[in-house]
Amino acid sequence: MSDDQPDLDTAPDAALEGLDDTPHTGEAVEADGTFVEPQADDFAHAEQAPSDPEWFKRAVFYEVLVRAFADSDGDGTGDLRGLADKLDYLEWLGVDCLWLPPFYASPLRDGGYDISDFRAVLPEFGTVDDFVHLLEQAHSRGIRVITDLVLNHTSDAHPWFQASRQDPDGPYGDFYVWSDDDSAYSDARIIFVDTESSNWTYDPVRGQFFWHRFFSHQPDLNFENPAVREAMLDVLRFWLDLGIDGFRLDAVPYLFEEEGTNCENLPRTHEYLREVRATIDREFPGRVLLAEANQWPADVVEYFGDPAVGGDECHMAFHFPLMPRIFMAVRRESRFPISEILAQTPPIPDGTQWGIFLRNHDELTLEMVTDDERDYMYREYAKDPRMKANIGIRRRLAPLLENDRNQLELFTAMLLSLPGSPVLYYGDEIGMGDNIWLGDRDAVRTPMQWSPDRNAGFSRSDPGRVYLPPIMDATYGYEAINVEAQQGSAASLLNWTRQMIAVRKEHPAFAEGEFIDLGGSNPSILAYERRMVGPDGELDVVLCVNNLSRFPQPVELNLAEHEGRTPVELTGRVRFPRVGELPYLLTLPGHGFYWFELTETEDDGERRSMA
């Protein structure tokens, strides 16, 4: 602590825990009250991955919780060095980019999304230097790393907020949205209806109300203030200078407020995103912005920006409504839930891509389904009330699908072939289970299961110290389900997933091709083409046929356009009968699927039999 902070209890950085030995915001203060913040040049910088401006359009993403993946120092909690030690595995699997939920300094009252210092790493995860080490190791394997960044708000423990409440006239006095009463912006909905009764909370220190769209311990930053806008750009620059490959921008629709609106998706929010994007393009080309906007696709496309210039806001956005509909379609044995939402999805600018996922660290998100569908999803997938949380279902993929290998493969095949860059959730590649008896959303955040050894090979610590107990039940426990065993078994889900990722990468149409729903008279079959003209001028056509029913099904596909081409199955390279003018008949086993490429026939000796 420096000498010009007389009262330790009210020092702006007093709420920061465990950062005594590392550079952090608020440990030193300029004469005018401005904090001396850590600068990127205080640290080493990582070498960049090979240049490829549109890498994100083809990448296979892997969401990994630092806490849950690997513990390098034996304290029972996963850390950045532990994650770096497992990069060989991720490279082997075929992962192109890691998505790390926040690893910043935080009081952890909202899973790390309550950031108390944007320029420091949560001490239990390591240091900024450890992060640079992770980047360096990842980039040397061609793996990129993005992380969450919350622009909208900070933790109330952030020195900015502490300074703002204590000194309304100081440099941070206008960093948050303060008001003398709680009447403004009354048209904005309350997002966390279970815990919050208002978007305003009274602060006795400053004697005013502060605005928060999320929890009352997460005050919203005041983006009207140019100093805030610049300070957040500097946060981005800090990590980009170190070598990070991009950000998933959390809660982007809420940056600005405006009376008489619902304070979501306002034009000024988009204007700021364009400013952020321009900064990236100018100073850090090839790095990406991924919007987290849990909205209908027609609204989300706004976050890609102007299509005339290929998009000038975020490079990527999650397609939220697709995921619950994949589950619904299979339970209904009907393609319509999927076909409908994709038909309602507008085209996106050239330089952009969707992110799609089956599961992530949050519950199965149900905001984007109708009430009717939500009741249905609850009934179908959450037979135990404990599995419901807020408005979602907190299960992992394998238990959601009752550990049915055929369905696991079908779902994964759809994830890898529907339009968008797939995001895998750590552990789902081996079919990990969940622990619904853990509180909050921890059910799906248990330690990665590496081996049948103590603590699932995740940590050398005393089992009692592990941050959450590894799954130990008979079906999903780490003795049965772990990376080591599955790497050694050719027929394992892990090896199957790896093979499918590899197949996906052989055909750029999977990633960037146009999506064409083939429809057809059998509603249980979802068949679609992905097609693109490659840089060599060759047409790459991939045909995906999915049986959403548990029963075997026939389907007649209208492939007349491809008459004369030969479907070649992509995992075994088996040639199927040539496409003729009449409907193409296929039969699929229950929950079966095919991936074909449609090739011009190469065998000159092959002749159509004459009638």
Q: Which residues bind another protein (CB under 8 A)?
A: 330-334, 336, 339-340, 343, 372, 376, 379-380, 517-524, 549-551, 558, 560, 581-582, 611
* Least separation in angstroms between CB 513 and another protein: 19
Q: Give whichever of 488 and 552 is closer to another protein, judged by the CB atom.
A: 552
Q: Give whichever of 309 and 582 is closer to another protein, judged by the CB atom.
A: 582
Q: Give whichever of 381 and 467 is closer to another protein, judged by the CB atom.
A: 381
* Least separation in angstroms between CB 523 and another protein: 4
Q: How far is CA 516 from CA 47, 290, 334, in A?
A: 40, 25, 17
* Least separation in angstroms between CB 234 and another protein: 47
Q: Give whichever of 242 and 377 is closer to another protein, judged by the CB atom.
A: 377
Q: Which of 279, 274, 258, 283 is nearest to 312 (CA)?
A: 274
Q: Give whichever of 550 and 578 is closer to another protein, judged by the CB atom.
A: 550
**How far apart (Å, rounded) are the C-alpha atoms in residues 495 and 481?**
13
**How far apart (Å, rounded) are the C-alpha atoms in residues 317 and 292?**
6
Strand locations in 104-233 (E): 104-105, 117-121, 144-150, 178-179, 200-203, 208-211
Q: Which of 114, 117, 257, 292 is catalytic?
A: 292
Helices (H), 466-535: 483-487, 493-506, 508-512
**How far apart (Å, rounded) are the C-alpha atoms in residues 154 and 107?**
11
Q: Give whichever of 92 and 551 is closer to another protein, judged by the CB atom.
A: 551
Distant-in-sequence, close-in-space partners of 241: CB < 8 Å, separation ≥ 6: 40, 41, 45
| Residue 402 appears among annotated catalytic residues | no
* Least separation in angstroms between CB 516 and another protein: 11
Report DSSP letters for 326-375, one per residue. Answer: HHHHHHHT-SHHHHHHHHTSPP--TT-EEEEES--SS-EE-TTS-HHHHH
* Least separation in angstroms between CB 346 and another protein: 14
Buried-exposed string 288-307: b where 16+ CB fall within 10 A, e elsewhere? bbbbbbbbebeebbbbbbeb
**How far apart (Å, rounded) are the C-alpha atoms in residues 93 and 100?**
17
Judge whether 471 and 88 are in contact, CB under 8 Å.
Answer: no
**How far apart (Å, rounded) are the C-alpha atoms in residues 91 and 142?**
8
Which amino acid, residue 517?
D
**How far apart (Å, rounded) are the C-alpha atoms in residues 515 and 412?**
17
| Residue 292 appears among annotated catalytic residues | yes
Q: Give whichever of 113 and 593 is closer to another protein, judged by the CB atom.
A: 593
**How far apart (Å, rounded) are the C-alpha atoms in residues 323 and 392?**
12
Degrees, nearest 5: CA angle 73-78-83: 90
* Least separation in angstroms between CB 336 and another protein: 6
- Contacts for 437-441 with beta carbons within 8 Å, 24 or more apart? 437/386, 438/468, 440/389, 441/111, 441/361, 441/362, 441/363, 441/389, 441/394
Name the token pair of 347.
């085209």
* Least separation in angstroms between CB 331 and another protein: 3
Q: Give whichever of 169 and 372 is closer to another protein, judged by the CB atom.
A: 372
The sign one gets for the Cα dihedral 244, 92, 87, 435 is: positive
* Least separation in angstroms between CB 509 and another protein: 21
Q: Which of 533, 562, 541, 551 is nearest to 589 (CA)?
A: 551
Name the token pair of 75.
């304290």
Q: Which of 527, 522, 520, 528 is nearest to 551 (CA)?
A: 522
* Least separation in angstroms between CB 604 and another protein: 24
Q: Give whichever of 255 and 401 is closer to another protein, judged by the CB atom.
A: 401
Q: Give whichever of 174 and 340 is closer to another protein, judged by the CB atom.
A: 340
* Least separation in angstroms between CB 209 and another protein: 44
**How far apart (Å, rounded) are the C-alpha atoms in residues 31 and 28?**
10
Which residue matches tokens 């905001």? 367
Residues marked active site are found at 250, 292
